[in-house]
């Protein structure tokens, strides 16, 4: 039968067709075709290099601490408010001692340490060493199965070897970053200004605000440094981070735990202020005073004569290594170590001579 579109039958057929199509579209809209999830391709085992990093993190992470502090900040002549700070740290021993940077806990009225997913535990300061930017706090309550971080050594590090930083950058807990030893034997200024930490490790592992006080690990998961600072115009990681070497940490921390203070290497002199020396155009350490009975006095060193203006003995080198500033001299004595002997090169009346001097602990 032929359908003419102008006929009544044709109009009814077109209407039915339109209604059928609309209802079908409505059904499809309400019940779209069901999409089955795609099959997952087998992963297989992790590469050996990946698995070693996973194992390293899982072993070290329980020893890493998230540290928060309460600090009273003055807002006016008679007003103040409580501010908060944050950083990282790590478990030193099973007695509950936790190591961090001094600048993380500086001025804090309360310190809290969080381990794993547990609640923060209040901690009390045990000892601080601003000249090394190190501090030790002790947990008020020591959890069971506390895991001290394994200690390594920094004396045999090689530029190019892999390192790993774990910390809490920007408050993001348990962050792992990876890099290499970028350089060795850097010097890091401390908040005291006239001293520098010697033998500092430079790394390109990402270190950001909040990483301070956290561990720098070698590929065996051992502590080789304490992440302390970054060099960056933006204040965030630029691939130049610095860590205090563990050999120094392992000398300072036991002293802080035992006596609450760190040994301070010296020879018994009071130096002239560095800014005055620099203003006079002198490269070296000018001696203002010499304490009686000290190695400097026994070695016959001569101080500045304020009446005549004679600079006396200007220390220009330690063990053959030039020192032009007081901070370089302090770092050199750190390298020599307490109870060891340093050979000083001093300039007197325009002539250089060598003097052997014993290094002592000025705080003993």
- Residue numbers annotated as active site: 103, 133, 212
| DSSP-derived 3-state class of residue 191 | coil
Q: Which two tokens stand for residue 316?
A: 């220009």
296: left (phi over 0), alpha (psi -120 to 50) or beta: alpha
**Cβ of 207: how many Cβ atoms within 10 Å?**
31
Residue 135 CB partners (closer than 8 Å, separation 6+): 99, 100, 101, 102, 104, 105, 125, 127, 128, 129, 256
What CA–CA distance (Å, rounded) separates 197 from 229? 12
What CA–CA distance (Å, rounded) separates 22 from 25? 5
Beta strands in the chain (DSSP E): 64-74, 80-91, 97-100, 108-115, 121-129, 134-139, 162-167, 175-189, 196-203, 215-218, 223-230, 241-245, 265-266, 269-271, 285-290, 314-318, 321-322, 341-348, 351-358, 360-361
Q: Which two tokens stand for residue 47?
A: 């590469």
Residue 336: enclosing H or E segment and its boundaries?
helix 326-336
| DSSP-derived 3-state class of residue 263 | coil
Q: Residues 335, 320: contact at Cβ < 8 Å?
A: no
Q: Comparing C-alpha atoms, which of 104, 96, 74, 130 is closest to residue 264? A: 130
| DSSP-derived 3-state class of residue 104 | helix
């Amino acid at each position: 039968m032929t359908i003419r579109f102008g006929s009544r039958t044709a109009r009814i057929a077109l209407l039915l067709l339109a209604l059928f199509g609309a209802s079908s579209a409505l059904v499809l809209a309400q019940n779209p075709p069901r999409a089955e999830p795609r099959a997952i391709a087998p992963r297989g085992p992790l590469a050996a290099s990946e698995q070693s990093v996973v194992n390293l993190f899982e072993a070290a992470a329980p020893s890493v601490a998230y540290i928060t502090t309460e600090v009273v900040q003055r807002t006016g002549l008679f007003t103040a408010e409580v501010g908060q700070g944050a950083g990282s740290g790590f478990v030193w021993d099973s007695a509950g001692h936790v190591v961090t940077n001094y600048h993380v806990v500086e001025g804090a009225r309360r310190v809290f340490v969080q381990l794993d997913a547990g609640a923060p535990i209040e901690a009390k300061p045990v000892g601080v060493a601003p000249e090394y930017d190190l501090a030790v706090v002790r947990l008020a309550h020591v959890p069971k199965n506390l895991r001290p971080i394994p200690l390594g050594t920094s004396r045999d590090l090689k530029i190019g070897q892999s390192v790993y930083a774990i910390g809490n950058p920007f408050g993001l807990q348990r962050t792992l970053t990876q890099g290499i030893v970028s350089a060795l034997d850097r010097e890091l200024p401390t908040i005291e200004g006239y001293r520098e930490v010697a033998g500092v490790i430079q790394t390109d592992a990402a270190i950001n605000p909040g990483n301070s006080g956290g561990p720098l690990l070698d590929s065996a998961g051992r502590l080789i440094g304490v992440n302390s600072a970054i060099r960056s115009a933006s204040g965030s990681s630029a691939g130049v981070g610095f860590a205090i070497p563990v050999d120094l940490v392992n000398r300072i921390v036991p002293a802080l735990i035992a006596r609450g203070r760190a040994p301070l290497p010296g020879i018994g002199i009071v130096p002239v202020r560095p800014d005055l020396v620099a203003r006079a155009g002198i490269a070296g350490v000018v001696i203002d005073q010499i304490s009686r009975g000290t190695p400097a006095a026994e070695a016959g060193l001569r101080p500045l004569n304020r009446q005549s203006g004679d600079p006396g003995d200007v220390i220009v080198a330690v063990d053959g290594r030039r020192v032009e500033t007081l901070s370089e001299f302090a770092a050199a004595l750190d390298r020599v170590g307490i109870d060891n002997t340093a050979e000083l090169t001093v300039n007197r009346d325009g002539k250089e001579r060598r003097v052997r001097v014993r290094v002592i602990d000025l705080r003993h």
